[in-house]
């Protein structure tokens, strides 16, 4: 009767029977660490419930056969948390995972899209679903997503017309200077977003971003003029000569060069240029 002498659940026979006959308390205790044969029996146990299954889904010994049985059981697959755990588990048979991924919310789709251990077509499907759903998300959801989105979503989020979304994106660790320049350069970018870019502590010191902002007619005038500060003399000369640049910005560039009219001839190359204060 002393079960302590029966040995740990990773040794000996009869583990299938023990899992099948275990009490609810034992299932809760063993589900997270039990080995394969015990799990086989536990899946036949009438006392097995969703809580036990969620623990099992974190068990490193859970294999494709176990996952297939859980995915096929309506008692468990009707629970969102179970579906999400199945879909993100690299050991879940691909056919089951592909059927589940379309039922997931954006946070779990993002977990799959960024998990390089899962089935590659499943990752691509998660990426596709996220991109499609961006337009349907609330502003709050898009702001939350913009903070943490991976590279595959940067372009879609950067084209948002919602200033709060792009402001959140500006702090995303996956964003690179090229992305911000594209936002600052686009004539389709709303002035409120251009103002946010100009006011970003992270990006406002970038010479490429400042140049893009000054050349964009949609950039609010105060921000355009402020972006002239710190540019190289050659940058200011080019801005002052460029007819596509708003006139007030050209005048501001000339004034920063000393108020003298910029020569129309090509400037001579300069080995060292110092920012104009």
Per-residue pLDDT tens digits for 200-256? 999 999 999 999 999 999 999 999 999 999 899 999 999 999 999 999 999 999 999
What SS3 class is residue 203?
coil
Average pLDDT, the chain: 89
Distance CA 12, CA 27 (A): 18
Percent of the chain topping pLDDT 90? 82
pLDDT value at position 261? Answer: 47
Residue 262's pLDDT is 40
**Does position 277 have pLDDT exceeding 90, yes or no?**
no
Read off the pLDDT of each residue in 111-140 and give the average, rounded to a whole number.
92
Average pLDDT value for residue range 79-98: 95
Could you tell me which residue, 164 or 230, shows the higher pLDDT? Answer: 164
126-144 pLDDT per residue, tens: 999 999 998 889 999 999 9
- Provide the whole-model pTM: 0.73
Is the predicted pLDDT of residue 11 greater than 70, yes or no? no
Q: What is the pLDDT of residue 96?
A: 93
In three-state form (DSSP H/G/I as H, E/B as E, the rest C), the secondary structure along 34-98 is CCHHHHHHHCCCCCCCHHHHHHHCCCCCCCHHHHHHHHHCHHHHCCHHHHHHHHHCCCCCHHHHH
From CA 65, how far away is CA 243, in angstroms rounded? 69
- Band of the pLDDT at 76, cuts 50, 70, 90? very high
What is the percentage of the chain residues whose pLDDT exceeds 70? 88
Q: Residue 176 — pLDDT band, cuts 50, 70, 90?
A: very high
**pLDDT tens profile 37-52:** 999 999 999 999 999 9
Assess contact for 70 and 57: CB atoms under 8 A: yes
- For residues 240-249, one letter each, b for 16 or more C-beta atoms within 10 angstroms of the residue's C-beta and e for the rest, the string is bbeeebbeeb
> What band does 4 get if pLDDT is binned at 50, 70 and 90?
very low
pLDDT tens-digit profile of 17-36?
A: 999 999 999 999 999 999 99
- Residue 230 confidence (pLDDT): 82
- Asked whether the beta carbons of 92 and 71 are under 8 A apart, the reply is yes
């Amino acid at each position: 009767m002393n079960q302590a002498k029966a040995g740990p659940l990773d040794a000996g026979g009869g583990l299938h029977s023990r899992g099948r006959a275990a009490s609810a308390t034992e299932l809760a205790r063993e589900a997270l660490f039990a080995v394969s044969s015990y799990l086989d029996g536990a899946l036949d146990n009438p006392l097995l419930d969703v809580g036990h299954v969620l623990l099992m889904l974190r068990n490193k010994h859970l294999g494709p056969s176990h996952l297939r049985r859980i995915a096929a059981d309506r008692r468990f697959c009707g629970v969102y948390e179970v579906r999400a755990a199945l879909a993100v588990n690299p050991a879940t048979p691909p056919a089951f995972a592909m059927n589940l991924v379309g039922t997931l919310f954006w946070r779990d789709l993002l977990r799959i899209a960024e998990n390089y251990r899962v089935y590659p077509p499943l990752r691509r499907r998660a990426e596709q679903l996220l991109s499609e759903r961006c337009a349907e998300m609330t502003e709050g959801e898009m702001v939350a997503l913009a903070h943490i989105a991976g590279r595959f979503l940067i372009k879609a989020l950067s084209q948002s017309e919602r200033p709060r979304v792009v402001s959140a994106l500006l702090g995303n660790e996956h964003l690179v200077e090229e992305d911000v320049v594209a936002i600052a350069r686009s004539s389709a970018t709303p002035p409120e977003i251009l103002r946010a870019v100009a006011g970003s502590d992270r990006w406002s010191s970038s010479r490429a971003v400042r140049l893009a902002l000054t050349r964009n007619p949609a950039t609010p005038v105060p921000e355009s003029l402020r972006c002239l500060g710190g540019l190289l003399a050659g940058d200011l000369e080019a801005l002052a000569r460029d007819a596509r640049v708003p006139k007030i910005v050209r005048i501001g560039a000339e004034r920063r060069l000393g108020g003298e009219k910029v020569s129309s001839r090509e400037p001579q190359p300069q080995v060292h240029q110092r920012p104009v204060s």
